[in-house]
Amino acid sequence: MAIFILYKFLLASIILVLSLLVAMYSTLIERKVAGWFQDRHGPNRAGPWGLLQPLADGVKLFFKEEFMPNSADKFLYILGPSLTMFIALLTSAVIPWGPDLVINGQAFPLQMADINIGILYIFAIVSIGVYGIMIGGWASNNKYALLGAVRASSQMISYELAMSLSIITIVMMTGSLSMRDIVAQQQGFHWNIFYQPLGFLIFLICAFAETNRSPFDLPECETELVGGYHTEYSSMKLGFYLFAEYINMFISGAVMATLFLGGYHFPFIDKLGLSPNVFAFVSFMVLFSKITFFGFIYMWIRWTLPRFRYDQLMRLGWKSLIPLAILNVVITGVVILLNK
Amino acid sequence: MFTEYIFYFLSIMALFSAVMVLVSKKPIHSVLFLTLTFFAIAGHYVLLNAQFLAVVHVIVYAGAIMVLFLFTVMLLNLNNDERSPKPVWVKIMAIAAGGMLMLTLIGVFRGYDIKSAHDPLTTQIGLVKELGRILYHEYLIPFELSSVLFLTAMVGAVLLGKKEQIYK
């Protein structure tokens, strides 16, 4: 029992550090990708290939002046970024990172909690994710921040619906809400993306909207709202908001890989005859490369597409994605019934 | 033993934040305390081995309804100085009415033996499989009818919103 608790503690720490590390270097990769897309070098002064740039950015943010507007709601002003960071880190608890490790004949699952409602847990976290932005935007007592917060809330509510509807098809096919079961069903090359291409597309678009990434970054639309919900933030509080976005990217990539791209499965990997622990490591690397692929898609689209206008965003969400998602549910239901 | 401490922690949190909903001066604080109350209640559901109910509670109440509340309060930008102070007799009446409700509730529940019919450690009633079976077998018609009710409410809301355009 004590070993088990120690193991869970260790695993939680590793996942935490991993998310933070990935988020840190995503900022560098994002700028490198932007440089590549715009035919320039990107950051290359700090360390070889700019590898120390994230550290330099972090140090800079820490040493900036801590500023709080006079009329701000003090407690909520601090709560906003903290809550955003906290909620961003919560989702990783139900993601299965790989098959079980075997040490001394005892199996150690590479998943923090295999709760039987894993998918719904992710939804719960996504749906409360907007609080950090709303609280921060309101507490700043600034009209641009407030507008950003209001936009964030209506955007998140609208896209949550289509997102959950696109997941229902996966639940219908798997017959389980547990993330572990969903991954187990996609063994080999039976990835859900081949059975649910439309569902995957809807989920991908909604994931962009839920993480406030371009072309859905209206809550922080610089051209209209100065800085959006974090206009009044400086120093590490601003850093938390920016950082949480990259953590969200990483985690949502992991969720998409788990739900649609077979999680840690890869065709023919079980034919290699690896020992359990090496197998677990290779599987984890497979999952990680899938997440990296999604990370690149996020950046690719950010530096390719212009931002939506607000009415376009609402029309896309309510008039295209939700009807398509419902249609997808109906078609999946009919096909499942016919194949019974 | 450990769950008992969690129970007391959650209960105190729920009661404290419920009182703070009423006491807070700013509407936004009230909304946020109400959200906290919902989280405490979701924690109680987990203690009763009803993870599904707990998560749905968080999704529906904290994730959707309270966000809409917050959205409305922010959009209207209600401030405490805009709320007109209530006359003293209204406050006295409110206390009397609330007190009577509490007395009635105490009277009702004193007569009953408030023990759960299910052992919280072994009950399966709040898990998704059991709940689904009960909803789609025993209570199928009420369940479907309530969804029609929601649809009617939605259509009604849209119609009210578009009233002026229709009758022009």
* B128 chain-A contacts, CB cut-off 8 A: 116-117, 177
Task: Select the more confidently predicted residue: A255 or B80.
Answer: A255
Rounded Cα gap, residues B55 and B43, in angstroms:
9
Q: CA dist B91 to A181, A196, B86, Å?
A: 56, 58, 7
Hey, what are B118's tokens?
Answer: 């299910």
| pLDDT single digits (tens) A59-88 | 888 888 888 888 777 888 888 888 888 988
pLDDT of residue B151: 92
Rounded Cα gap, residues A164 and B52, in angstroms:
15
Residue B114 has pLDDT above 70, yes or no: no
A249 Cβ contact partners less than 8 Å away, ≥ 6 residues apart: A23, A26, A211, A213, A294, A295, A298
Q: Considering only CA atoms, which of A120, A175, A165 is closest in space to residue B45?
A: A120
Residue B99: pLDDT band with limits 50, 70, 90: very high
Angle, CA B106 vertex, CA B100 and CA B109 arms, to 5°: 140
Rounded Cα gap, residues A183 and A258, in angstroms:
6
Nearest to B75 among A123, A127, A150 (CB): A150
Residue B30 has pLDDT above 70, yes or no: yes
* A153 chain-B contacts, CB cut-off 8 A: 67-68, 70-71, 74
| CA A104 from centre of chain | 35
Tell me: do B84 and B151 sit in the same domain.
no
Residue B113: pLDDT band with limits 50, 70, 90: low
CATH number of residue B15's parent domain: 1.20.120.1200
The alpha carbon of residue B64 is apart from the nearest alpha carbon of chain A, in Å, by: 7
Substitution target in A127, A319, A326 with the highest count of B β-carbons within 10 Å is A127
| 3-class secondary-structure state, position A107 | strand
- Domain coverage including residue B28: 2-126
Residue B116 has pLDDT above 70, yes or no: no
Nearest to A116 among B32, B64, B128 (CB): B128
Q: Considering only CA atoms, which of B72, B77, B65 is closest in space to residue B34?
A: B65
The alpha carbon of residue B99 is apart from the nearest alpha carbon of chain A, in Å, by: 33
Phi, psi of A221 (to 5 degrees): -60, 105
Q: Which residues of chain A have a Cβ shorter than 8 Å from any chain B Cβ? A: 73, 76, 115-117, 120-121, 123-124, 126-128, 130-131, 134-135, 138, 146, 149-150, 153-154, 156-157, 160, 177
pLDDT of residue B153: 92
Is A128–B58 a contact, with Cβ atoms under 8 angstroms apart?
A: yes
Element (H, E) at A101: strand A101-103
Contact between A124 and B59 (Cβ < 8 Å): yes
List, in sequence order, the alpha helices (H) in B24-65.
27-47, 51-57
The alpha carbon of residue B154 is apart from the nearest alpha carbon of chain A, in Å, by: 14
Residue in chain B lying closest to A129 (CA): B63
Rounded Cα gap, residues A108 and A11, in angstroms:
10
Per-residue pLDDT, averaged over B93-111, amounts to: 88
Per-residue pLDDT, averaged over B154-162, amounts to: 86
Judge whether B53 is closer than 8 Å to chain A, CB to CB: no
Tell me: do B83 and B142 sit in the same domain.
no
| 3-class secondary-structure state, position B1 | coil
Q: What's the N-to-C CA distance of chain B in angstroms? A: 67
The alpha carbon of residue A117 is apart from the nearest alpha carbon of chain B, in Å, by: 7
Rounded Cα gap, residues B144 and B56, in angstroms:
18
Residue B149 has pLDDT above 90, yes or no: yes
Is A115–B28 a contact, with Cβ atoms under 8 angstroms apart?
A: no
Beta-strand relationship, A101-103 and A106-108? antiparallel
- Kindly report the length of chain B: 168
A263 Cβ contact partners less than 8 Å away, ≥ 6 residues apart: A96, A182, A183, A186, A257, A287
| 3-class secondary-structure state, position A108 | strand
What is the residue whose two structure tokens read 């970054």?
A: A217
Substitution target in A75, A87, A134 with the highest count of B β-carbons within 10 Å is A134
Tell me: do B122 and B135 sit in the same domain.
no
Tell me: do B146 and B104 sit in the same domain.
no
Judge whether B71 is closer than 8 Å to chain A, CB to CB: yes
Write the ipTM.
Answer: 0.80
Rounded Cα gap, residues B113 and A266, in angstroms:
57
What is the residue whose two structure tokens read 């990172």?
A: A97
List chain A residues with pLDDT less than 50: none
Q: Which residues of A207-241 are buried (b: 16+ CB within 10 A; e: fewer)?
A: bbbbbbbbbbbbbbbeeebbbbbbbbbebbbbbbb
pLDDT of residue B83: 59
Is B75–A76 a contact, with Cβ atoms under 8 angstroms apart?
A: no
Element (H, E) at B4: helix B2-23
Residue in chain A lying closest to B46 (CA): A115
If one counts the domains in chain B, the total is 2
| pLDDT single digits (tens) A261-277 | 887 877 776 677 677 77
Q: Considering only CA atoms, which of A97, A100, A108, A98 is closest in space to residue A16?
A: A97
Q: CA dist A173 to A17, A287, A294, A335, B95, Å?
A: 34, 22, 24, 10, 54
| CA A304 from centre of chain | 20
Contact between A148 and A220 (Cβ < 8 Å): yes
Is B64–A121 a contact, with Cβ atoms under 8 angstroms apart?
A: no
List, in sequence order, the alpha helices (H) in chain A.
2-37, 53-63, 74-90, 118-128, 130-139, 143-174, 179-185, 192-195, 197-210, 222-225, 235-260, 276-302, 310-315, 322-338
Q: Which residues of A90-105 are buried (b: 16+ CB within 10 A; e: fewer)?
A: bbbbbbbbbbbbeeee
| pLDDT single digits (tens) B61-74 | 888 888 888 888 87
Residue B80 has pLDDT above 60, yes or no: no
Contact between B47 and B62 (Cβ < 8 Å): no
- Residue A286 CB neighbours (<10 A): 19
- Residue A25 CB neighbours (<10 A): 16
Nearest to A157 among B35, B51, B64 (CB): B64
Is B67–A134 a contact, with Cβ atoms under 8 angstroms apart?
A: yes
Tell me: do B168 and B92 sit in the same domain.
no
Nearest to A124 among B63, B74, B75 (CB): B63
Nearest to B62 among A117, A128, A138 (CB): A128
The alpha carbon of residue B136 is apart from the nearest alpha carbon of chain A, in Å, by: 15
